[in-house]
Amino acid sequence: MNQFDNITHEQLKELYYDKRMSVKMIADYLNVNKRNLMRHMRKINFKLRTSSKAQKLRMKLNRGKSFGKGKNHLNWRGGKFKDSQGYIEVSECLLSKKQKDLFKPMLRSRKNHSSYILEHRLIMARHLGRPLLKNEVVHHLNGFKDDNRWSNLLLLESRKHFQYIPILNKKIRELELKIRRLERS
């Protein structure tokens, strides 16, 4: 038995066109998978809206308002993303009101977006119970910028961070040399 046997073409038309429900809303209403519903609608030659028409309808239904901010935004993806340098950024929406107030100096505003905070800095600040100062740097010990485990983070002053990097690079070269020697023997 097909999961769509119990809904008629007329019922779909009523939900989609008359009540102006989206495919996702209909899928939720029928308690079925959105992708399967779309396949079924195409299979029965149901005329779907183009994406631009669907967006215009959403705008009309929202009376021209935006699609919300943060968790309420249409394109919400969980509040975390990797920036162009490889660091994880966390949306302020994921912070409690108390944390927003405490870590406000650390938030980075993005043009036309909500504010974000670098996850490794947030983890360190939570551990210390205070916002980090501008001259404090959180270093990833293993060099992976998206590995934000507490055990992989080290807090340094920016001037000490610059002294620490050459020491680490020297240690890495020494270890690589030892590996090459071991591989030869």
Residue 4: exposure state from Cβ atoms within 10 A (0-12, 13-18, ≥19): middle
CB burial string 110-135: b at 16+ within 10 A, e below? eeeeebbbbbbbbbbbeeeeebbeee
Q: What is the pLDDT of residue 31?
A: 85
Q: What is the pLDDT of residue 72?
A: 67
Q: Are 32 and 3 in contact (CB under 8 A)?
A: yes
Q: What is the pLDDT of residue 50?
A: 85
Query: Does one domain contain both 36 and 122?
Result: no
CA distance 12 to 47: 11
Query: Does one domain contain both 55 and 101?
Result: no
Does a structural domain hold residue 110? yes
For 27-63, what is each residue's pLDDT tens digit? 888 888 888 888 888 888 888 888 888 777 777 776 6
Query: Does one domain contain both 133 and 50?
Result: no
CATH at residue 102: 3.90.75
User: pTM of this prediction?
Assistant: 0.55
Long-range contacts of 135-142 (CB under 8 A, 24+ apart): 135/159, 137/161, 139/164
The count of other CB atoms within 10 Å of the CB of residue 12 is: 20
CA distance 44 to 159: 67
Our count of domains for the chain comes to 2
Query: What domain range is 85 assigned to?
Result: 80-179
Residue 70, token pair as written in the block: 């943060």
Alpha helices in the chain (DSSP H): 9-13, 23-30, 34-43, 51-61, 97-102, 119-128, 158-184
Query: Does one domain contain both 157 and 97?
Result: yes
Q: What is the pLDDT of residue 148?
A: 94
Does a structural domain hold residue 33? yes
| Residue ranges for the chain with pLDDT beneath 50 | none
Does a structural domain hold residue 90? yes
Coil, strand or helix: which one is 92?
helix
Query: Does one domain contain both 28 and 88?
Result: no
Query: Does one domain contain both 159 and 109?
Result: yes
Q: What is the pLDDT of residue 165?
A: 77
Q: Are 138 and 155 in contact (CB under 8 A)?
A: yes
Q: What is the pLDDT of residue 171?
A: 85
Does a structural domain hold residue 184? no
Alpha helices in 31-114 (DSSP H): 34-43, 51-61, 97-102
Q: Are 114 and 92 in contact (CB under 8 A)?
A: yes
Q: What is the pLDDT of residue 172?
A: 85
> From residue 141, how far is each of 1, 155, 161 by CA, in Å?
57, 10, 11
